Structure 1
Amino acid sequence: MSVEGIWDLSVSTPIGTIKAVVELRRRNGALTGTAHGAGEAVPLGDLVLDGDRLSWKQAVTKPMRLNLAFAVTVHGDTLSGTSKAGRLPASKVTGERRLAPTASATGA
């Protein structure tokens, strides 16, 4: 299953819903990624795809400094799972892959 692409994520946290964008690419056969949100871009670490299960770690500084661990299941162009920050309770994560514009949508 291909997970490459741009994903729009919603993370339901105790302080509200946080929107983020994750870009996943293959480089030299390895899956790499970057997360964008709250005005910062951070690389994804420990990125693992096992069947339809995808996990990664990332550090953020906004809205507060946290080390996050994501574990999601990919279902075609959607994903769902959790994000965990240390001893805090897990937060629900949902996401949708951005679809490439079609020729009819671009007027071509």
Structure 2
Amino acid sequence: MSVEGIWNLSVHTPVGMIEVVVEISRPNGVLTGTAYGPEEQVPLSDVVLESDLITWKQAVTKPMRLNLAFAVTVTGDTLTGTAKAGRLPASKVTGRRRTV
């Protein structure tokens, strides 16, 4: 399954919804990516695709310092899953791939 592209994500957190853009590419056969949030952009790490499940980690500093672990299922041009920050409850993630 292809996960490459630009994705518009909505992360439903306890403090409200956060809109994020995630760009995923596969240079030289290795999945990489960058997340663009309202106040910063951060690289994705440990990007792994297994069947239709993609996982990655990212560290953010705004609105607070958190290490996030994403696990989302890709179905065509949509994705659904969760983002987890340490001991905090998992936040629901939904997204849609941008079309060219």
TM-score (norm 1): 0.91
**Aligned-pair distance for 1:26?**
0.9
1:7 touches 1:21 (CA, 8 Å); kept in 2? yes
Matched, 1:68 2:68: yes
* Other-structure match for 1:106: none
Runs of 4+ in structure 1 over 3 Å off? none
Following the alignment from structure 1 to structure 2, what is the Cα–Cα distance between the partners of residues 57 and 29?
Answer: 19
Using the TM superposition, give the Cα deviation of residue 39 of structure 1 relative to its aligned residue in structure 2, in angstroms: 2.1
Deviations 1:59-79 (A, max 9, x none): 001111100000000000000
One-letter identity of the residue aligned with 1:4: E
1:51 aligns with 2:31: no
SS in 2 for 1:56: strand
1:81, distance to aligned residue in structure 2 (A): 0.2
Secondary structure (helix, strand or coil) at the match of 1:39 reads coil
Q: Residues of 2 paired with 1:50 and 1:62: CA distance?
A: 30
Which letter does structure 1 place at the counterpart of 2:61?
T
Q: Distance in 1 between matches of 2:53 and 2:60?
A: 22
> Identity across aligned pairs (percent)?
73
CA contact (8 A) 1:38 1:63 kept: no
CA distance in 2, matches of 1:8, 1:56: 16
Using the alignment, how far apart are the partners of 2:6 and 2:57 within structure 1?
17
CA distance in structure 2 between the aligned counterparts of 1:4 and 1:60, rounded to whole angstroms = 22
Query: Shift of the alpha carbon at 1:93?
Result: 0.1
Question: In 1, Cα distance between the equivalents of 2:83 and 2:45?
Answer: 14
Match of 1:30? 30
User: Over aligned residues, Cα RMSD in angstroms?
Assistant: 0.5
Q: Give secondary structure in 2 for the equivalent of 1:28.
A: helix
Deviation at 1:38, TM superposition (A): 2.1
